[in-house]
A and B are shown apart, each in its own frame.
Chain A
Amino acid sequence: MKKLFFTSCFLLFLSSLQAQQKITLHFHNKVGDKDLQLFTETYTNKFGESFTVNRFKYYISKIILIDSDSKYYAFPSDYFLIDEADSLSKTITLTTAAKKINDIQFLIGIDSIKNVSGVQTGALDPMKGMFWTWNTGYVFAKLEGQSDASHAPQHLLSYHVGGFKQNENALRFVRLNIGQNVSTKNLILNINADILKWFDNTSTIKIANQSVCHQPGNFAMQLADNYAGMFSIQQ
């Protein structure tokens, strides 16, 4: 009995030696090279259209850290809602056994399983407002504001992007290079998210042409393709 007790204590001790590193991700929402300011600042996109931002939120999930042997360290059941209005939400901490890593990969949005399995809790609670009730599904990313270029009522700029079914899949993976064999010990990654990419990346999106996206479909997928390129690692 006593022997068993000491063995288990020893095993516990060993497993604590199997070092778990804590990695911190800070998301910095930007417009070009400026830090995003909700409500107060007016920005201009590449097409000379000025706009303000009142709300900027997006889901990050399926984070994977990749080392130089292409070994994956995955966090399959962690879902994070990054909300510019909630500064705490912009920091994510992860605990991993990875010692040295090269890349980080994540999904912008919520995988299809969670879109079809009923009501979820935590960051995925429909109460968070990132949800379409009339056509069940998560809104993966939201950019809301106003723009003189918008022809919508109140000159609204309102891009809600989602869609997980075939032919309307707006889920996008992002893979960012961190460096070569970067030690995970006390690693802090600063990740920029540049709103200007929403308008200008693989597609050209002018507010004057389309200032509202409230359903899955082609436009949502174009926006998703564009914002999939908004992330970069701050050097």
Chain B
Amino acid sequence: MKIFSTIFILIVLIFSGIAWTNNSFKPTPLQFIVPKGWPQTVYDFKNNSLTKEGFELGRKLFYDERLSKDSTISCASCHQQFAAFATYDHNLSHGINNSLTTRNAPALQNLAWQKDFMWDGGINHLDMQPITPITADNEMGETLQSVIVKLNRSKEYKAMFKAAFGDETINTQRLTKAISQYVVLLVSSNSKYDKVMRGEAAFILPEQLGYDIFKQKCISCHKEPFFTDFSFRNNGITTDTTLNDFGRMKITRDKNDSLKFKIPSLRNVAVTAPYGHDGRFFSLMNVFDHYRKNMKVISNTDSLLQHKIPLSNFEIGQLTAFLYTLTDSSFLSNKMFAPPGYDITPNFIHNH
């Protein structure tokens, strides 16, 4: 009889002990705010609750060169805040050991609304995305095993993983969830365009004229509010015979998808040059010339582009004025997204 009560008391003590340890793990929740009028997110926060600790861990990982094989490249090397997390100036992104990738690093913004990733849409979940650049030979060239060994050597990381997830375990899932917590908060919704839409500002005449032209000639693919409809289309781009990148076809193996690439968002387009999946367009003018002159209409070129896009020099001027209103300086200079310990991204981050 006595032994039963002893066991009972012990069980009670054990359970209250477990409850107590659980209570000691109290990360600070972060709220994800869906801008007014925007749809619900594709990203499911139920599986990865945003916390200050998770976000800070993700930010540290994003800026950490140790994620690459020779500790020279971080995510931020090709995704720079001042370029809306695209790469300033590089047409093709650079990898370790003087390697070149085959594509232009896209801007990272409003990722919570995106259902697939990469120019060809091959990656089906935001949490999956970081694994590709980390392990690709011509990007960071590292193995996941090795990344986790390196992180486990760091007391600071162990403490940060504990703060974010409750214990010191470091695995692929936690690594990628933390990075997602950082990148998912890269929301750009505060450009002049947004302010105009909210009634807080007004377009000047060229911007308004540009917006009208935009609504006639560009908006079917570059749909508001994301300025992309996230679809894959052949826009008359020609094959680069050194890259032989046929885009979406690689994923679907359907020849109708040849040379189809994801429609890029035009938010912050003024700071994300060069343009195109392989960065072949040096300036916005090159892009306009592509659509009005140089594009090649083939059998699966998008139906909206069968006659190219007629654009006068006058219209190009107005369109440019409008596109500049999509620059969101509060996003580009938000201190929250800068490397840990900095207010802005320092120059040395860009060393490739």
> B4's contact among A5, A117, A133, by CB below 8 Å, is which?
A5
CB distance from A84 to the nearest CB of B (A): 19
Whether the Cβ atoms of B122 and A121 lie closer than 8 Å is: no
CA distance A119 to B118 in the complex (A): 17
Whether the Cβ atoms of A135 and B177 lie closer than 8 Å is: no
Given contacts A125-B173, A127-B172, A133-B131, contact A117 B125 (CB under 8 A): yes
**Residues in chain A near residue B135, CB distance under 8 A:** 133
CA distance A120 to B176 in the complex (A): 10
Query: Does B153 reach chain A (CB closer than 8 Å)?
Result: no
Whether the Cβ atoms of A9 and B4 lie closer than 8 Å is: yes
Query: Does A116 reach chain B (CB closer than 8 Å)?
Result: yes
CB distance from B147 to the nearest CB of A (A): 9
CB distance from A193 to the nearest CB of B (A): 26
**Residues in chain B near residue A116, CB distance under 8 A:** 124-125
Q: Which residue of B lies closest to A8 (CB)?
A: B8
CA distance A168 to B254 in the complex (A): 12
Per the 8 Å Cβ criterion, residues 108-150 of A in contact with B are: 115-121, 125-127, 131, 133-136
**Residues in chain B near residue A9, CB distance under 8 A:** 4
Whether the Cβ atoms of A119 and B122 lie closer than 8 Å is: no
Whether the Cβ atoms of B173 and A119 lie closer than 8 Å is: yes
Query: Does A217 reach chain B (CB closer than 8 Å)?
Result: yes
CA distance A118 to B148 in the complex (A): 18
Q: Which residue of A lies closest to B47 (CB)?
A: A118
**Residues in chain A near residue B131, CB distance under 8 A:** 119, 126, 131, 133
Whether the Cβ atoms of B173 and A120 lie closer than 8 Å is: yes
CA distance A5 to B7 in the complex (A): 11
Whether the Cβ atoms of A125 and B172 lie closer than 8 Å is: yes
**Residues in chain B near residue A134, CB distance under 8 A:** 118, 122-123, 132, 136, 250
Whether the Cβ atoms of B251 and A135 lie closer than 8 Å is: yes
Interface residues on A, range: 20 to 34
Question: What string of 1s and 0s marks CB contacts (under 8 Å) between B218-258 and chain A?
Answer: 00000000000000000000000000000000110100000
Q: Which residue of A lies closest to B115 (CB)?
A: A116
Q: Which residue of B lies closest to A134 (CB)?
A: B122
Query: Does B128 reach chain A (CB closer than 8 Å)?
Result: yes
**Residues in chain B near residue A217, CB distance under 8 A:** 253
CA distance A125 to B48 in the complex (A): 17
CA distance A135 to B121 in the complex (A): 8
Query: Does B171 reach chain A (CB closer than 8 Å)?
Result: yes
Query: Does B144 reach chain A (CB closer than 8 Å)?
Result: yes
CA distance A126 to B175 in the complex (A): 12
CB distance from A118 to the nearest CB of B (A): 4
Query: Does B145 reach chain A (CB closer than 8 Å)?
Result: yes
Query: Does B127 reach chain A (CB closer than 8 Å)?
Result: yes
Q: Which residue of A lies closest to B176 (CB)?
A: A119
CA distance A215 to B128 in the complex (A): 18
Per the 8 Å Cβ criterion, residues 124-143 of B in contact with A are: 124-128, 131-132, 135-136, 143
CB distance from B301 to the nearest CB of A (A): 24
CA distance A162 to B127 in the complex (A): 20
Question: What string of 1s and 0s marks CB contacts (under 8 Å) between A81-123 and chain B?
Answer: 0000000000000000000000000000000000111111100
Most buried by B among A117, A120, A127: A127
Q: Which residue of A lies closest to B146 (CB)?
A: A127
> A135-B122, A217-B253 are known contacts; what are 16 more A-B pairs with Cβ within 8 Å?
A116-B124, A117-B47, A118-B47, A118-B125, A118-B177, A119-B128, A119-B172, A121-B171, A121-B172, A126-B144, A126-B172, A127-B144, A127-B145, A127-B171, A133-B135, A136-B122
**5 A-B contact pairs sorted by A residue (CB < 8 Å):** A9-B4, A119-B173, A127-B145, A215-B253, A217-B253
Residues of A within 8 A of B (CB): 5, 9, 115-121, 125-127, 131, 133-136, 168, 215, 217
